[in-house]
Amino acid sequence: MYETADADPEAFWAAEAQRLDWIRPWDRVLDWDPPFARWFVGGRINASVNCLDRHAKGPRRNRAAIVWEGEPGDRRVLTYHDLWREVGRMGNALRGLGVRKGDRVTIYMPMIPELPAAMLACARIGAVHSVIFGGFSARAIRDRMEDAESRILVTADAGYRRGNVLPLKRIADEAVAGLDLVEHVVVYRRAGVDVAMSEGRDHWWHELAAAADSRCEPEPMEATDPLFILYTSGTTGAPKGIQHSTGGYLVGVAATTRLVFDLRDDDLYWCTADCGWVTGHSYIVYGPLANGASVFMYEGAPDWPAPDRWWRMVEDYGTTVLYTAPTAIRAFMRSGDEHPKKHDLSSLRLLGTVGEPINPEAWRWYHRTIGGGRCPIVDTWWQTETGMILITPLPGVTTTKPGSATRPFPGVAAEVVDDRGRPVPVNTGGYLVITKPWPAMLQTIFRDPERYKDVYWSKVPGKYFTGDGARVDEDAYFWLMGRIDDVINVAGHRIGTMEVESALVSHAAVAEAAVVGKPHPLKGQSLVAYVVLKAGGTQSEGLTKDLQKHVREVIGAIAVPDEVYITSKLPKTRSGKIMRRVIRALVSGQEIGDTTTLEDPGAVDEVRKWLAEVEGDPPR
């Protein structure tokens, strides 16, 4: 497969596209007018038909599409036929509210089956969805609705998170207050809490659904019509509205889901992401459902009401594939092995990770403690912009190395280059670029093609610039080194934060670490480390010295942090990624910048507190 895809990537992708149902076949597989790619030109397709109708009409009709558990413990199963009906009703309901092809619909919902249903209802009628993670504030919703010029919002009365009722409708009301462009708000009743309904503007989902027909004529979309926009996580700065196509995107996510997760008919597949992130779009909704998979979905917090919640569910439902993020794995490592050990996890056959580089220590723990030493791990590298997994092992094919995302997916061409765009030698760090178009690639930044060209295509002309640093080893395996912004220059040596963090996490007492550079009069920059200890770990005089010694042994003197602080939490995005730019700004006394994507502002105070104790005078 690697060889045939390499020899003729377009033929490879065309063969993958043949697995989908097309309304009209494409004329050309690819029009490449750099940096704008148009995949399956002339083809017509509807994403919801591919995710629902073709299963609901065949032998998978009564198969579970979504197996769901709410945080309070309530359970639901929607078969393909059930989901098809619900999506049809909502498609008709949205049309009834005047939504037409190309209109943007904002979705702000908890992780309940109606969230994918709302996305698919948009896809059915050709509306472009913009999903906003349920943890975001009114301000963040408002900014994104204005940017997308979205007239419709789909939300819920509330959701559950860590035992609390999260008042989504109240936050949504605040977001749209005085926002003249908003015409309709559709509200799903999840928690049964009292909400204010504004006459004429607000509509109950269940009332609209009851009045609507479940047969909903799908909009015949051009393959190149947009399917959705999604704002990035905001780890490096303000989020960008990434626009994805219908046909190319669906081909890319359907193919990668099938091959990377080696899907089988008896799988219960669980991707723990939220649909508010690209991982949820591609690997909860479009990829798995296009393949007719049974998808498990969970509404709430991983450690609620106890740190074994996930493992209890794996045992109860017989989950076979688990796809999650390093941040979650490190949190479980931190809380102790006794929680997964309480449960029978033998149904699991494949594990995956995405979102950040996974340090080898966490990889091994995941492999041993969750996978019982039996399950292959697919470490999948990709981005909101790439739409689909681009660098990954294929289970049963690729020999893995803990911490490496291994090789580009068949048909994908990746390289590591220097700042003049020339490939760097083996095991030398550089910029990760993608050298050929791939079907699920972003089309543009919503209504800002100039910014699209500038951000992704100007640094290395003719190649897609990922913003990530990487090296390729002697076996042609890719090792992601973190974001380019995070690479630190100490006395002329370029050090990846990831490497130092990994060394710290390999110390027995450490659960998580963030390393940043701080201006230094002699060295240019010096390293500062923030470390979170494992449960039961205590801070002691000797520990800091011991950690410095440990880094010296693992990497060398050059990588030893000058300052090591023990902290109880690190600043993270709402998708769980460490926001080094915030720590960096704090330690060098700069403004923090955009913090709307920060998960827990308390973590910033924690870092501030440490700086204050050490330096007497806290930076702003």
Pick one of 243, 282, 384, 548: the residue that binds ligand ATP (CB under 6 A). Answer: 384
Stretch that binds ligand ATP, among 193-201, 226-234, 313-321, 511-519 (CB under 6 A): 226-234
Phi, psi dihedrals of residue 306, rounded to the nearest 5°: -145, 160
Longest dimension (CA), the chain: 72
Q: How far is the CB of 381 from ligand ATP (least distance, A)?
A: 4
Q: Which CB, 243 or 384, lies closer to ligand ATP?
A: 384
Phi, psi dihedrals of residue 271, rounded to the nearest 5°: -105, 120
Stretch that binds ligand ATP, among 3-11, 163-171, 343-351, 377-385 (CB under 6 A): 377-385
In the window 63-92, what residues touch ligand ATP (CB under 6 A)? none
Q: Does 232 bind ligand ATP (CB under 6 A)?
A: yes
Pick one of 235, 324, 359, 567: the residue that binds ligand ATP (CB under 6 A). Answer: 235
Q: Which CB, 155 or 327, lies closer to ligand ATP?
A: 327
Q: Does 355 bind ligand ATP (CB under 6 A)?
A: yes
Query: By CB neighbour count within 10 A (0-12 exposed, 13-18 middle, 19+ buried), where does 349 fall?
Result: middle
Q: How far is the CB of 522 from ligand ATP (least distance, A)?
A: 31
Q: Which CB, 237 or 556, lies closer to ligand ATP?
A: 237
Query: By CB neighbour count within 10 A (0-12 exposed, 13-18 middle, 19+ buried), where does 21 fall?
Result: exposed
In the window 569-608, what residues touch ligand ATP (CB under 6 A)? 575, 577
Complete edge-to-edge strand list for the sheet that includes strand 241-245: 202-204, 184-188, 152-156, 104-108, 128-131, 226-231, 241-245, 444-445
Beta pairing partners, 423? 417
Pick one of 218, 234, 288, 430: the residue that binds ligand ATP (CB under 6 A). Answer: 234
Stretch that binds ligand ATP, among 27-35, 66-74, 130-138, 229-237 (CB under 6 A): 229-237
Are the C-beta atoms of residues 383 and 480 closer than 8 Å to each other?
Answer: no
Q: Does 356 bind ligand ATP (CB under 6 A)?
A: yes
- Tell me which residue of 252, 233, 234, 256 sits closest to 244, measured CA to CA: 252
Q: Does 483 bind ligand ATP (CB under 6 A)?
A: yes
Q: Does 219 bind ligand ATP (CB under 6 A)?
A: no
Beta pairing partners, 422? none
Q: Which CB, 308 or 356, lies closer to ligand ATP?
A: 356
Q: Does 357 bind ligand ATP (CB under 6 A)?
A: yes
Q: How far is the CB of 385 from ligand ATP (least distance, A)?
A: 6
Q: How far is the CB of 233 from ligand ATP (least distance, A)?
A: 4
Q: How far is the CB of 209 from ligand ATP (least distance, A)?
A: 32
Pick one of 125, 354, 551, 604: the residue that binds ligand ATP (CB under 6 A). Answer: 354
Q: Does 143 bind ligand ATP (CB under 6 A)?
A: no
What 160-164 contacts at long range (C-beta under 8 Å, 24+ apart), as own/partner pairs, is 160/70, 160/71, 160/72, 160/110, 160/191, 160/299, 160/300, 161/71, 161/110, 161/135, 161/300, 161/301, 161/304, 162/71, 162/300, 162/301, 162/303, 162/304, 163/71, 163/304, 163/305
Provide the 10 A C-beta neighbour count for residue 231.
Answer: 26
Q: Does 233 bind ligand ATP (CB under 6 A)?
A: yes
C-alpha dist (Å) from residue 267 to 322, 335, 350:
10, 28, 10
Judged by CB under 6 A, how many residues of this single chain contact ligand ATP?
Answer: 27
Q: Which CB, 514 or 566, lies closer to ligand ATP?
A: 514
DSSP string, 60-78: TTTSEEEEEE-TTS-EEEE
Q: Where are the beta strands (DSSP E) in 34-103?
A: 36-41, 44-45, 64-69, 75-79
Q: How far is the CB of 260 from ligand ATP (least distance, A)?
A: 12
* 3-class DSSP assignment, residue 307: coil
Are the C-beta atoms of residues 122 and 207 closer than 8 Å to each other?
Answer: no
Provide the 10 A C-beta neighbour count for residue 353.
Answer: 24
Q: Which CB, 167 or 239, lies closer to ligand ATP?
A: 239
Pick one of 239, 292, 302, 576: the residue that binds ligand ATP (CB under 6 A). Answer: 239
In the window 148-207, what residues touch ligand ATP (CB under 6 A)? none
Rounded-to-10 torsion of CA 265, 271, 277, 283: -20
Stretch that binds ligand ATP, among 68-76, 147-155, 180-188, 379-387 (CB under 6 A): 379-387
Pick one of 468, 499, 512, 599: the residue that binds ligand ATP (CB under 6 A). Answer: 468
362, two tokens: 């966490």
Pick one of 380, 444, 497, 502: the residue that binds ligand ATP (CB under 6 A). Answer: 380
DSSP one-letter code for 366: I
Rounded Cα gap, residues 170 and 462, in angstroms? 46
Pick one of 92, 106, 236, 327: the residue that binds ligand ATP (CB under 6 A). Answer: 236
Q: Does 323 bind ligand ATP (CB under 6 A)?
A: no
Pick one of 405, 488, 559, 611: the residue that binds ligand ATP (CB under 6 A). Answer: 405
Pattern 264-293, binding to ligand ATP, x per CB under 6 A? -------------xx---------------
Q: How far is the CB of 119 from ligand ATP (least distance, A)?
A: 17
Q: How far is the CB of 24 from ligand ATP (least distance, A)?
A: 32
The number of angstroms, rounded, from the C-alpha of 575 to the middle of its chain's C-alpha atoms is 7
Q: How far is the CB of 181 from ligand ATP (least distance, A)?
A: 24
Pick one of 205, 228, 249, 381: the residue that binds ligand ATP (CB under 6 A). Answer: 381
C-alpha dist (Å) from residue 273 to 130, 239, 283, 285, 476:
16, 18, 9, 11, 29
Name, in order, each residue with C-beta under 8 angstroms of 192's C-beta and a sequence gap of 6 or more.
157
Q: Where are the beta strands (DSSP E) in 369-523?
A: 377-379, 414-417, 430-434, 444-445, 464-472, 478-483, 488-490, 493-495, 510-520
Q: Does 379 bind ligand ATP (CB under 6 A)?
A: yes
327, two tokens: 């941040």
Q: Which CB, 45 or 354, lies closer to ligand ATP?
A: 354
Q: Which CB, 117 or 481, lies closer to ligand ATP?
A: 481
How many helical (H) and strand (E) elements, i.e. helices and strands, does the chain have? 21, 30
Residues that bind ligand ATP (CB under 6 A): 232-237, 239, 277-278, 354-357, 379-384, 405, 466-468, 480, 483, 575, 577
